[in-house]
Amino acid sequence: MSVGLIYGIATVAGLIAFVGIALWAWSSATRERFEQAAMLPFADDEDDSGARTGSNANGGS
């Protein structure tokens, strides 16, 4: 086996993996889950009880 053949096989395997991941990410079966995950940074913390409000929220005085 030559090095070129091994590089070729690795390239094809990488391309197949990339296409598989792209198809999985763009499939309609995962769309709802990804939309919910995308909104997580904007979700309110229900159990926070206002601990981060006030003048000391950023560690300052």
Rounded CA gap, 61 and 48, in Å?
Answer: 21
Residues 49 and 24: their CA atoms lie apart, in Å, by 38
Give the model's pLDDT for residue 29.
86
The predicted pLDDT at position 28 comes to 85
Amino acid at the residue 39 = M
Contact 20/26 with Cβ under 8 angstroms?
no
55-58 long-range Cβ contacts below 8 angstroms, 24+ apart: none
**3-state per-residue secondary structure call for 42-55:** HCCCCCCCCCCCCC
Answering whether pTM is above 0.85, one says no
Predicted confidence (pLDDT) per residue in 44-60, tens digit: 876 655 555 555 556 65
Domain boundaries, the chain: 15-41
- For residue range 4-61, list pLDDT tens digits in order: 999 999 999 999 999 999 999 888 888 889 899 999 999 887 665 555 555 555 665 5
